[in-house]
Amino acid sequence: VATATMSIARFSLVVVTAFWIVSATVAVAGTDANFTANQTNSTICALAEESSDKFPGDLFTNDQRRHGGFLFHVFVAFYCFIVIAFVCNDYFLPTVDCICQDLNLSQDVAGATFMALATCTPELFANLIGTFVTESDLGVGAVVGSAVFNTLGVPACGGIAAVMVIKLKVYPLARDCGIYMTVLAVLAVMLWDEHIYWYESLILLILYFVYGIIMFCDRKMSKAAKKVLKKANSFDSARSIKSVKSDVRDGAGDGVYRPTHYQSDQLFSSIERARRLSSLRETKLPRIDEKGNANVEANEAEKVKLCVKPEGFSSLCWWIFTLPVEIALWLTIPDCKTRRKLYPFTFCMCIVWIGISSYVVSWMMALFGAAFTISDSVMGITFLAMGGSMPEACSSVINARLGIASMSISNALGANTLDILLCLGLPWMIKTLLPASLGGGPIRIHSAGLVYNTAAQIACVAILFVATSLNRFYFNRVLGFVCLFMYLAFIGLIIVIETNVFGWTQDTSSCS
């Protein structure tokens, strides 16, 4: 666990450092562009200023933010990411599990509905804010950026942290890559004319239900794939087919749904370890009787846990840093693991906390982008996406340590599909169906570079599959570093496209 903590710290340091270097470069480029700005660029700048004006002001001016005030916005946004991670991992997922148990839903149905909604809620709120509040590309950029991080960043975290060579399942990886590339192609076509109409958002929602139906028929598809692999007799087909068959029967490593198809106790245990790596403390869930009453001793243990100082300097610092969050959540959200009857109220309070935190994050990022003349799409693709996907990265490290990396990669790819179909399709549908008097109608995509970014992701997924196949579907540190390099290169390419260095787009998204 301690080694996993260091791996997360090293990867986070590399990614954050690279992000701020690129951001500083973009800021300098935007400053230099003041001397050569044209009328089109001024129009985009006005859109960026209008986006930041949709939020309340704060204590700083743009000039003060450029000279150090931006650190306050970064700190607040980072702390809100922690709040979202704590809410989802400690309260929202257990609540959704209670709902699925009471409705007697199968793991497939639960994963395609409630579980998917629970884990993609931050991206959903980000796009809701970007669609209805700022009317900008912040939410779209967050979904696109989180997809990039899930595709390359999550495997990079797990690969670098892996202590053993892990054999990946061929069929789930090929299936998820194929489905995700198809969804990306559909999204690229929709973004081509820089407008989203009601029928396009309807297509995304229809594809979401089709996606669920396909996964319900996954056993038949896996049998057909097994026959193909058996005839091909490549990549150690006998062993791969056996593992795929076992994987399909058990529901593990299926990966298309968020969270995984593991049993709920194992799932929550993995999430708890991922979130509390530094504290080296395990939380035992209380036993709940048939009436839904939890053990009183377990409830008291939860109270005492907040007051126990962990050992070690780094663990103590993290405990002090996150203690206000844990206390605030403990006071306002009932824990359904100890008080199961209150899970409907827990569900509502989780929605409130996630919504408020997502709004504050979008607020801070809009002000930061306006100060450094960085477009909303770039802010969403980089900072907002990486922060929102950090829980998945931590879970990837834990799963790699446990030797189940195939589950992490498959879930990351399946998560991307759900983010596009649900987190983009639902807000767009609501917005386009509203009357014009309420601000409804077709949605304008301000950044033409998102089309090229989405198309580049298709190549990115293909490269991931090719790199994995060239590595004979073995998951190790070599593959992890390859994914890390591709992620940093892809983020750099996205920013270059958004700043219109190649002149591919008619408008530039970086303001001067």
Mind listing the pLDDT tens digit for each residue in 487-507? 888 888 777 776 666 665 554
- Given the structure tokens 């245990």, which residue do they identify? 269
Angle between helices 218-232 and 198-216 (to 10 degrees): 70
Angle between helices 138-148 and 449-470 (to 10 degrees): 10
Per-domain boundaries in the chain: 2-216+253-498
Helix/strand/coil for 56: coil
Long-range contacts of 196-199 (CB under 8 A, 24+ apart): 196/428, 196/432, 196/442, 196/443, 196/445, 197/432, 197/442, 198/429, 198/432, 198/433, 198/442
Please provide the size of the chain in residues: 512
What is the DSSP track for 430-471?
Answer: HHHHS-GGGT-SPEE---THHHHHHHHHHHHHHHHHHHHHHT
Distance CA 380, CA 118 (A): 20
Identify the CA nearest to 258 among candidates 271, 275, 272, 245. Answer: 271
Distance CA 129, CA 359 (A): 7
Which residue positions in the chain have pLDDT lower than 70? 1-55, 57, 105-119, 121-123, 127, 130, 133-142, 218-219, 225, 229, 231-307, 376-377, 384, 387-388, 390-392, 394-395, 398-399, 404-408, 410-411, 446-449, 498-512
Identify the CA nearest to 395 among candidates 375, 385, 374, 410. Answer: 410
Give the angle 149-235-406 at the CA atoms, nearest 5°.
30
Fold designation for 2-216+253-498 = A middle domain of Talin 1 (1.20.1420)
Distance CA 83, CA 98 (A): 22
Angle between helices 343-371 and 39-53 (to 10 degrees): 140
Give the per-residue pLDDT at 360: 83
Going by C-beta distance under 8 Å and a sequence separation of 6 or more, which residues neighbour residue 323? 306
Distance CA 414, CA 68 (A): 39
3-state secondary structure 300-358: HHHHHHHCCCCCCHHHHHHHHHHHHHHHHHHHHCCCCCCEHHHHHHHHHHHHHHHHHHH
Beta pairing class for 195-196 and 443-444 = antiparallel
Distance CA 101, CA 191 (A): 39
Helix/strand/coil for 159: helix
- CB-CB neighbours of 190 under 10 Å: 22
Q: Which amino acid is at 304?
A: V
Going by C-beta distance under 8 Å and a sequence separation of 6 or more, which residues neighbour residue 59? none
What is the DSSP track for 283-296?
Answer: -PPPPB-TTSBBPH
- CB-CB neighbours of 203 under 10 Å: 18
